[in-house]
């Protein structure tokens, strides 16, 4: 049972991170390589605020907002002039952002490991089904589930979601109708970046905070997005839970084969269902 709970918590952390990446790709067609670096920035900001103020919640809020604002600035001043150019330019630009963000983090916080304190309310562990489960893992599962529901509601039920979907399917028509398509695109990028910052802040008490943390995690994140189907939010939820479970089962029964199992699943998917396990052949957002 503990394996299932650990798998769910890993899956939900992956979902928080991958949802922003797939949202940006689905709505804007941009593959944001810097998503992992934004996740790292969120973790550092959350650690810093939590240490200064003693408030974990404030750290989460500040990390989400600041990283979201950084995303807005990235889209407005760097990505927007490149939309009409080949995708290659976007890839190079977002890769460049990784270097810039890494250097900025190094400048502010140095190279050493940092430790985000576990919030008192969520620290400790509980005995469940014969295992000891950290309370924070249960919080991550609940928070991830709430975030998934909120994201669906925002995209499927709200006016903003309707505008976003319209701008992603026919940006010129939206512009012709007098709606601010460019602003919507900027908002989507900022929202996606904010989700990366949020994921970093939520993950911070669980893992060491270090410069390489984004690079390590972004590979899993891309696997989730590919398995779920590029741009497919529902697919990301399912794929994140699937990868979380595969990893948890792998860590429990064959730790040295975890990466092999994960990559084997990715290769099998690309060979048999290149559109992703949870997408139809035509891409949907």
Partner 1 sequence: MKSHIQATSYRLAAGVGLATALAFSGNAFGADPEVFKIGGVVSLSGTYGVFGDDMRKGVELAIEQRGGKVLGKPIQVAWEDDETKPQPAVQKTTRLIADGAQMIFGAVSSASSIAIMNIAKQRKIPHLVTMSADDKITLPGASRYTFRTSNTLGMEQRMALAYSKDQKLKRVYGVTADYQATRDSWEWYRKEAEKAGIEIVGADFPPLGNRDFSSIADKIARSNADGIALFMTGSDSITMVKQAGQVGLGKTRKIFGPVIADETMAAGVGPTSVGVNSGVRYHFTVDNAANKKFVEAYRKKYNEFPSSAAGEAFDGMAWWLDVVEKTGSWDREKWVEAFAGSVRENSLEGRKEMNACDHQARQDGLWGEVVAGKAPQPAYVMKIAKLYPPKEIFEDCKQ
Distance CA 165, CA 155 (A): 8
Shortest Å, Cβ 268 to partner 1: 20
Shortest Å, Cβ 41 to partner 1: 16
Task: Look at phi and psi of residue 276 and say left if phi exceeds 0, alpha if psi is from -120 to 50, else beta.
Answer: left
Query: Which residues form the interface with partner 1 (CB under 8 A)?
Result: 2-3, 6, 9-10, 111-115, 117-118, 125, 130-134, 136-137, 206-212, 216-217, 220, 247-248, 251-252, 255-256, 258-259
Residue whose pair of structure tokens reads 């948890």 in the numeric block: 248
Residue whose pair of structure tokens reads 């014969």 in the numeric block: 130
Shortest Å, Cβ 80 to partner 1: 30
Residue whose pair of structure tokens reads 């993950």 in the numeric block: 203
Return the structure tokens found at 222: 């891309």
Q: Which is nearer to partner 1, 111 or 271 (CB)?
A: 111
Q: Which is nearer to partner 1, 126 or 162 (CB)?
A: 126
Q: Which is nearer to partner 1, 126 or 267 (CB)?
A: 126
Distance CA 279, CA 277 (A): 6
Q: Is the dihedral of CA 197, 200, 204, 206 positive or negative?
A: positive
Give how far Cα 151 sits from Cα of 16, 61, 64, 250, Å. 10, 17, 15, 30
Q: Which is nearer to partner 1, 15 or 189 (CB)?
A: 15
Residue whose pair of structure tokens reads 């919030």 in the numeric block: 119
Shortest Å, Cβ 220 to partner 1: 8
Q: Which is nearer to partner 1, 28 or 204 (CB)?
A: 204
Residue whose pair of structure tokens reads 């950084």 in the numeric block: 70
Distance CA 276, CA 210 (A): 32
Q: Which is nearer to partner 1, 2 or 175 (CB)?
A: 2
Shortest Å, Cβ 237 to partner 1: 19
For 29, other C-beta atoms within 10 Å of its C-beta total 15
Shortest Å, Cβ 37 to partner 1: 12
């Amino acid at each position: 049972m503990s394996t299932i709970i650990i798998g769910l918590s890993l899956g939900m952390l992956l979902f928080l991170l991958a949802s922003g990446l797939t949202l940006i790709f689905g709505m804007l067609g941009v593959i944001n390589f810097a998503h992992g670096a934004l996740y790292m920035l969120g973790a550092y900001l959350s650690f810093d605020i939590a240490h200064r103020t003693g408030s974990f919640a404030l750290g989460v809020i500040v990390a989400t907002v600041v990283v979201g604002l950084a995303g807005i600035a990235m889209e407005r001043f760097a990505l927007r002039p490149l939309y009409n150019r080949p995708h290659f330019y976007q890839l190079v630009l977002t890769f460049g952002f990784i270097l810039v963000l890494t250097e900025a983090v190094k400048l502010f916080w140095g190279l050493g490991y940092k430790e985000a304190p576990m919030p008192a309310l969520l620290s400790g562990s509980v005995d469940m089904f014969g295992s000891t489960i950290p309370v924070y893992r249960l919080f991550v599962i609940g928070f991830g589930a709430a975030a998934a529901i909120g994201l669906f509601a925002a995209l499927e039920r709200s006016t903003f979601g309707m505008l976003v979907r319209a701008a992603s399917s026919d940006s010129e028509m939206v512009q012709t109708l007098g709606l601010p398509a460019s602003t919507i695109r900027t908002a989507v990028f900022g929202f996606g970046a904010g989700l990366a910052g949020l994921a970093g802040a939520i993950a911070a008490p669980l893992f060491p905070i270090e410069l390489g943390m984004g690079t390590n995690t972004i590979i899993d994140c891309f696997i989730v997005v590919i398995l779920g189907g590029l741009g497919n939010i529902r697919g990301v939820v399912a794929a994140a839970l699937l990868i979380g479970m595969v990893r948890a089962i792998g860590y429990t029964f064959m730790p040295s084969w975890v990466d092999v199992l994960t990559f084997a699943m990715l290769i099998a998917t690309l060979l048999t269902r290149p559109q992703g396990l949870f997408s139809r052949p035509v891409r949907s957002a």
